[in-house]
Amino acid sequence: MHLATSSVEFSFNNNMYRQIDGVAMGSPLGPALANIFGGYQEEKLFNFANRPLAYFRYVDDTFAVFNNEDDCNTFLLHLNSLHPSLCFTHEKEFNHSLPFLDVLVEKLGSEFSTSVYRKPTFTGQYLRCNSFSPHKRKINLIGTLVHRAFMICSKGKLDPEFDKIRSILLENGYPQHSINSTPKRKLQQLNSSPIHTVKKCPVYLPEVSGYRFFDS
């Protein structure tokens, strides 16, 4: 791993450079090594720091739940003391909601609900229906959006997300019959196939505050 992260050579504008720390942007080694590095630092962290009430990590993006803001700030200090190359910032919940990757987590009393999160910069632009692209790719786009909604959304959030998907697809020129028929087939497939994931169930926690950490 040391050779892969300290002696990587690459060219830019006909000049050769050597990456002296980390992995070059776009390197296929990047995601795997980042995850290994994050897991190693995470193991060190929990040897001396208290684990939050809930803690989830995807590469360098983490979601954590604490009893209070002081616990959050202490945990952040521990994170930033792990390695000189790590510099975590944090985002606190706002109006009882907090995005994590493409999931919006909302706190409703002692329960959490989840729905699809889209950044404020989201334009709604997808592959146009009249584009010069295989028909199968366009059908798969619809299926992908339905699959994501099915896997992410809580029960009460699913129908509004499907309405949003239909509206987006109409804006991208997809015919009504494809928008209606393709999601139905996809949902039948999802409901009949075994889903290899944790079974969805309500989560009940005491009154807590949520925070999202990410490495800048």
**In whole angstroms, what is the distance from residue 183 CA to residue 181 CA?**
6
**What's the confidence (pLDDT) of residue 118?**
93
**What's the confidence (pLDDT) of residue 201?**
60
Nearest partner of 200 among 113, 110, 116, judged by Cα:
113
pLDDT digits (tens, 9 = 90+) for 167-196: 999 999 999 888 888 888 888 887 776 655
Mean pLDDT, the chain, integer: 83
Does the predicted TM-score (pTM) go above 0.95? no
Q: How far is CA 131 from CA 126, 127, 138, in A?
A: 10, 7, 9
With cut-offs at 50, 70 and 90, classify the pLDDT of residue 122: very high
The contacts of residue 158 (CB under 8 Å, 6+ apart) are 149, 150
End-to-end CA distance of the chain: 22
The sign of the torsion formed by the CA atoms of 75, 77, 78, 79 equals positive
Q: Are the C-beta atoms of residues 62 and 76 closer than 8 Å to each other?
A: no
Between 97 and 23, the higher pLDDT residue: 97
Percent of the chain with pLDDT over 70: 85
DSSP letter at 203?
-
Q: What is the CA radius of gyration of the chain?
A: 21
